[in-house]
């Protein structure tokens, strides 16, 4: 199983539970899991992180050269499927237009192209004003989960003085 991480996974980790300054094990786990080809994100998420111009941007530039997948022709072939789904729903036009222009659209297309599990903090909602990643995943028969579900599924361990891998 391979995972594709939404921007909010990185941003909330940095700002809340896994700050770069006090929980380096989380960030090392991301690097190791990427090296073993289990965890990725996408170029559009990297762009969102870079726009923050903060310590997360620095970490990304110094530690995550292979973490962010480029949008390739296989992904581009799925754009029509994702846009057809979103336009067939009862979302407001502004919600559709916004979704089709942000990283979420590309993340879902990448997941379809590669059979990845999408990892996000977003929660499904019955709003017509915003397309949520979980709603798109459900509508397109993609698996999604929270970062905590991913960490538990992968049996990540962040132990003081120990290793970040399962013993």
Segments making up each domain of the chain, as ranges? 3-153
Q: Is the pTM of this model over 0.85?
A: yes
Q: Which tokens hold the place of 69?
A: 């997948």
State the pLDDT at residue 162: 54
State the pLDDT at residue 38: 98
Q: Which tokens hold the place of 8?
A: 């909010």
Q: Which tokens hold the place of 30?
A: 């991301």
Per run of 10 residues, the mean pLDDT along the chain (length 167 residues) is: 98 97 96 98 97 97 95 98 98 98 98 98 97 98 98 94 56
39 with 153: CB under 8 angstroms? no
Q: Which CATH superfamily does the domain covering 3-153 fall into? A: 5'-nuclease (3.40.50.1010)
State the pLDDT at residue 34: 98
Q: Which residues lie below 8 Å from residue 107, measured CB to CB, with a gap of 6+? A: 4, 6, 41, 42, 44, 45, 118, 133
- Could you give the CA distance from residue 94 to residue 131 in angstroms, rounded to a whole number? 10
**Residue 101: burial class (beta carbons within 10 Å; 0-12, 13-18, 19+):** exposed
State the pLDDT at residue 161: 73
């Amino acid at each position: 199983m391979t995972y594709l991480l939404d921007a909010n996974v990185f941003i909330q980790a940095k700002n809340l539970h896994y700050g770069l300054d006090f929980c380096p094990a989380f960030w090392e786990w991301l690097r190791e899991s990427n090296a073993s080809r289990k965890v990725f994100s996408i170029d559009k998420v990297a762009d969102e992180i870079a726009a923050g111009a903060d310590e997360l941007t620095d970490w990304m530039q110094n530690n995550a050269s292979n973490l962010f997948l480029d949008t390739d022709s296989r992904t581009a072939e799925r754009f029509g499927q994702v846009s057809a789904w979103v336009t067939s729903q009862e979302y407001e036009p502004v919600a559709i237009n916004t979704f089709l222009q942000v990283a979420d659209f590309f993340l879902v297309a990448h997941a379809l192209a590669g059979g990845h599990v999408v990892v996000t903090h977003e929660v499904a909602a019955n709003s017509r004003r915003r397309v949520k990643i979980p709603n798109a995943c459900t509508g397109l028969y993609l698996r999604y989960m929270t970062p905590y579900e991913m960490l538990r599924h992968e049996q990540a361990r962040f132990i003081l003085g120990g290793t970040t891998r399962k013993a």
